[in-house]
Amino acid sequence: MQRAIFLDRDGTINHDPGYIKDPSEIIILAGVAEGIKKLKKDFGFKMIVISNQAGVAKGLMTREDVEAVNLRINELLMIEGASIDAFYYCPHHPDIDPPEKSICRKPSPFMIVQAAEDFKIDLSQSYMFGDKSSDIECGINAGLKTVLLISESIEKEISTLHNLGKKPNFTAADFNEACDFVIKDLSGGN
């Protein structure tokens, strides 16, 4: 069985100015390419993006825009010797779409379960990195260890999780610290 790092996209891999539809706006965050490269090469993790892209349902972008942005993210990562193995995204929003369509939206584990089936992933040996409470909830709902990346809204995200009676396995200052947590955890260091 394969293990994986499931990654939120905007705010985790790349700068998040809100509803990105132009690939030229993509800025990969510091440490992301190096961290992905190390976890893939040295530890054999698949890298899989799990992303809510409600801008599609809201008419702010198209699926083609989302896919073009995903392609650009991978192009930029490949320049640094890193890459994402697969991108899964939910283009739906419960305020716009019926519940049966919105089932893929985080915090539902739907996309993680689909990826696990597609790649034969052992979820008990896998992790979720994200900057929002919905990322952590999604990971917990799928049985993953979770890492919350500190963002501008960290207090709100922690408060939301606290109110739900949930917490991440680790809170990281940045992507490098998230990767260090995984490496220590693999060696039984936590």
Active-site residue (options: 8, 16, 65, 135) = 8
pTM equals 0.95
Whole-number Å distance between alpha carbons of 45 and 182: 11
Each domain of the chain, given as residue ranges in start order, spans 4-186
| Catalytic status, residue 185 | no
122 is catalytic: no
Would you identify the CATH topology of the domain 4-186?
A: Rossmann fold (3.40.50)
Q: Which of 10, 65, 131, 135 is catalytic?
A: 10
Q: Which of 57, 38, 30 is nearest to 174 (CA)?
A: 30
The pLDDT tens digits along the chain (190 residues) read 899 999 999 999 999 999 999 999 999 999 999 999 999 999 999 999 999 999 999 999 999 999 999 999 999 999 999 999 999 999 999 999 999 999 999 999 999 999 999 999 999 999 999 999 999 999 999 999 999 999 888 899 999 999 999 999 999 999 999 999 999 999 886 5
Nearby residues of 172 by Cβ (< 8 Å), 6 or more positions away: 129, 147, 148, 149, 150, 178, 181
